[in-house]
Amino acid sequence: MKMGRLYIVGIGPGSKEQRTIKAQEVLEKSNVIIGYNTYLRLISDVLDGKKEVIGARMKEEIFRANTAIEKALESNNTVALVSSGDPQVYGMAGLVYDLIARRNLDLDVEVVPGVTAALAAAARLGSPLSLDFVVISLSDLLIPREEILHKVTKAAEADFVIVFYNLINENLLIEVMDIISKHRKPNTPVGLVKSAYRNNENIIITTLSSWKEYMNEISMSTTMIIGNSLTYRYKNYMITPRGYERKYEL
């Protein structure tokens, strides 16, 4: 019996215009679509009555992954497991592949990449990621707090531009920003982008010394970008030079 096919689809920031052509094609041709309920609402334009749609709540990632695998094992199913942003960046891809490996399954799986939150937020801010940067999740639900603090410390010491995802723990956020403040100037630009490319989008550029003034804008839908020693603000843009000025006359 021929098994079905499983796509792990990154839908980008949320708006249809930010999906890739490949993602749109896969969503349209899939007969089974599985995802977190919020993500399913973002792709309502492809959820016609002919598709089987399976929604799930927050913290039901294992259910979503296992359901997608089981549906794809059925003959002739084309299954799309949706993930916001990109499926590999704190998305569903790693969990699905891990479960497939643990079960020793021979399943046809393809990741469809999407625009991850770091890139979407950076585009709204200007160009803060033009040089080396790191992305760190501040969710300590799966990763020990001490490990997160260690990563932030090393990133700050190395002068990377730092992107924070999953800002769910206010105390942890304050702690990591205090660490960064030990290594960067008070006027270092800090960008906050809430709900990038969605209807309630909000874009703020502040500084390392003033970011706490905008604590009420920080939630799970907010991406934070902290500049490095070269990053500067010009009007409503954050800019991190790549280094052309070191070699060329600008």
**What digits encode the pLDDT tens for the residues 215-229?**
999 999 999 999 999
Domains and CATH numbers, the chain: 5-115 (3.40.1010.10), 118-239 (3.30.950.10)
> Can you say how many angstroms the Cα of residue 161 is from the centroid of all Cα atoms in its chain?
16
For residue 186, what pLDDT band results from cuts at 50, 70 and 90?
A: very high
3-state class of 1 per DSSP? coil
Task: Enumerate residues 6+ apart whose C-beta is below 8 A from 208.
Answer: 177, 180, 181, 184, 185, 186, 187, 188, 190, 226
Query: pLDDT for 12-42, tens place per residue?
Result: 998 899 999 999 999 999 999 999 999 999 9
Q: In which band, very low, low, confident or very high, does the pLDDT at 166 lie, cut at 50, 70 and 90?
A: very high
Quick: pLDDT tens for 124-145: 999 999 999 999 999 999 999 9
Amino acid at 44: S
Look-up of token digits 């937020």: 121
First to last CA, the chain: 64
CA gap 138, 168 in Å, rounded = 7
Q: State the average pLDDT over residues 159-182.
A: 97
What per-residue confidence (pLDDT) applies to 2? 67
pLDDT of residue 49: 83
